[in-house]
Structure 1
Amino acid sequence: MAELNGVPVDLGVLQSLALTNYGHFTSMRVEDGRVRGLGLHLERLARDCRALFDVELDVERVREFARRAAPESEAGIVRITVFDPALDLRHIGADAHPQVLVTTRPAAALPLAPLRVRSVVYTRDMPEVKSVGLFGSLRHRRAAQRAGFDDALFVDEESRVSEGGTWNVGFVRDGQVIWPEAEYLTGTTMELLRQAHEHTTEPVRRDDLPGFDAAFATNVAIGVRAISQIDEVTFPETHDVIAALAKKYAQLPGDLL
């Protein structure tokens, strides 16, 4: 389903989003009406709206729209996209009046099979913003899949690991969780895991990968997902720390939408 400001969306509005492609979003996994890290999602929407549109977002109104669309019992992914249909390529600098598009899709059953990823030198525009501009990420994902991998892992010009196309990456060494120090979007799942489990942050370069015991990916759709291969470096498909992270994340009660 798709609703704009709480009513069925008009095709012309979606055409505007497709042609201009300027906006931001968040995706939430809703289970029995609850969302893990709901406050983090709403805070990010408000922050990104200020960054892209220079206006304040009414997050309680957004929450109401999301609640209307969320599945009542089964798990689903609710995506909230904030954009202004009146802005186009010629008038992108006009004062903005952002609108709220809510779409839903079924949620995959967890856990998912481990990922095999290929590293690529790439940094997203404004990596701290969850923007709708996914061309670069999807281009590298497509190239990785065409080469036999599942996805792409981004590294910067100094070979520092940052993030996946739509997920954060973490590592395990000597029983400790290590998050990379780089420019990336801090996902809500990543932030919740930081709050729930002891960790450290340090630069992780491509040449450092053989020194880690395990690797994993996180986002709301996949939860905590093992990474079994990065380029030619292999990791175990199961690890006690990753299992503990997944258990802690699954046990988070979530907030009522």
Structure 2
Amino acid sequence: MAELNGNPVTLEDLQALALTNYGHFTFMHLRDGTVKGLSLHLDRLVRDCRIVFGVDLDRERTLNHIRKAVHGVSGLVGLRVTIFDPDLDMGRPGDGKNPHVLVNLRPAGTAPPSPLTAKTFTFTRDNAEVKHLGLHPQLRLRRDAQLAGFDDAVFLEPDGRISEGATWNLGFIDQDGTVIWPDAPVVPGTTMLLLQNLDTPSQITAPVRLADLPDMAAAFATSTTAGVRPVSALDDAQFANKHSTLTALRDAYTAIPDERL
């Protein structure tokens, strides 16, 4: 199911999106008309629209398009909101200043995610602060990681700092139980932001390099899809799948109230 600006989407509407792949998006879980971190998702859409298109996105109009698209939908579904300009021309992307709102719904998995293994690659996402549509580099490295026997890819800055996963944020837990968020260019994920707003457990942001991994008690991925997911291996480094801080993070995230559309 898909709607563009509150109307059924056509093939012609999607042509620019398919051929230019220029725009940005957010993905959330809709549960019986509520979304965890809804305000943060809307903040992201407004912020990224200024960066990508240089214009202000109408927050309330966008929310109304979402409400219309999900009217009558129950249960748990995946909800993606993509902002793009159907009239954008590849030769003159600077003329693209009329962003439209594309809303897609898809089934959402309910099974608890298994622990994740990841392989590191030196790579920095273009416009790392924007959740944009340019996913080819990340998916190529995810593919390379899977061909090497891992589940996914994790990125390293040229100076060796660990940053993020292919489509998720990464965190660590040190031997004292403190959460460490890597100090590096990353997409400001809504799940990560919700966790960072918690009063407990203790959290810091600091550079993390491969040489620091033996000092870490646990590692985890965060995303709308998986919530808080243990990372059991990063290259040759192994981490515990269970840790009291990891449990506390997961429980605290689950307890964050959803917002109604």
Contact 1:27 1:80 in 2 (8 A): yes
Give the alignment of 1:37-186 within 5 angstroms: 37-70=37-70, 72-173=73-174, 174-186=176-188
- The yes-or-no answer on 1:241 pairing with 2:245 is yes
Q: Give the alignment partner of residue 187 of structure 1, picking from 189, 211, 222.
A: 189
CA distance in 1, matches of 2:111, 2:67: 23
Q: Structure 1 residue 95: deviation in Å?
A: 4.6
Residues 39-95 of structure 1, C-alpha deviation per residue, up to 9 Å, x if partnerless? 111111001101111111011111112123337331111000000011121121215
Q: Structure 1 residue 218: deviation in Å?
A: 0.2
Q: Structure 1 residue 185: deviation in Å?
A: 0.9
Letter in 2 for 1:117: A
Letter in 1 for 2:69: A
The TM-score, its normalising length taken from structure 2, stands at 0.96
Match of 2:231 in 1: 227
Report the secondary structure of 2:94's partner residue: coil
Q: Give the alignment partner of residue 205 of structure 1, picking from 206, 209, 223.
A: 209
CA distance in 2, matches of 1:182, 1:244: 25
Letter in 2 for 1:220: T
Residues 197-249 of structure 1, C-alpha deviation per residue, up to 9 Å, x if partnerless? 33011100111111100000001111000000000011112222111111111
Report the secondary structure of 1:87's partner residue: coil
Q: Structure 1 residue 186: deviation in Å?
A: 1.2
Residues 123-179 of structure 1, C-alpha deviation per residue, up to 9 Å, x if partnerless? 010000110110111010011111111100001001100011110000001111110
Letter in 1 for 2:164: E
CA distance in 2, matches of 1:110, 1:208: 32
Letter in 2 for 1:185: V
Report the secondary structure of 1:93's partner residue: helix
Question: Which segment is superposed worse, 211-220 or 105-114?
Answer: 105-114
- The yes-or-no answer on 1:215 pairing with 2:219 is yes
Q: Structure 1 residue 110: deviation in Å?
A: 4.6
Report the secondary structure of 2:247's partner residue: helix
Please list every run of 5 or more consecutive structure 1 residues that lacks an aligned counterpart in the other structure: none
CA distance in 1, matches of 2:125, 2:64: 31
Report the secondary structure of 2:155's partner residue: strand
Q: Structure 1 residue 111: deviation in Å?
A: 2.4
RMSD of the TM alignment (CA)?
1.1
Letter in 2 for 1:192: L
CA distance in 2, matches of 1:65, 1:190: 26
CA distance in 2, matches of 1:171, 1:233: 12
Letter in 1 for 2:22: Y
Letter in 1 for 2:229: R
Q: Structure 1 residue 192: deviation in Å?
A: 0.4
Give the alignment of 1:16-35 within 5 angstroms: 16-35=16-35
Match of 1:36 in 2: 36
- Report how many aligned residue pairs link the two structures: 257
The TM-score, its normalising length taken from structure 1, stands at 0.97
Contact 2:85 2:99 in 1 (8 A): yes
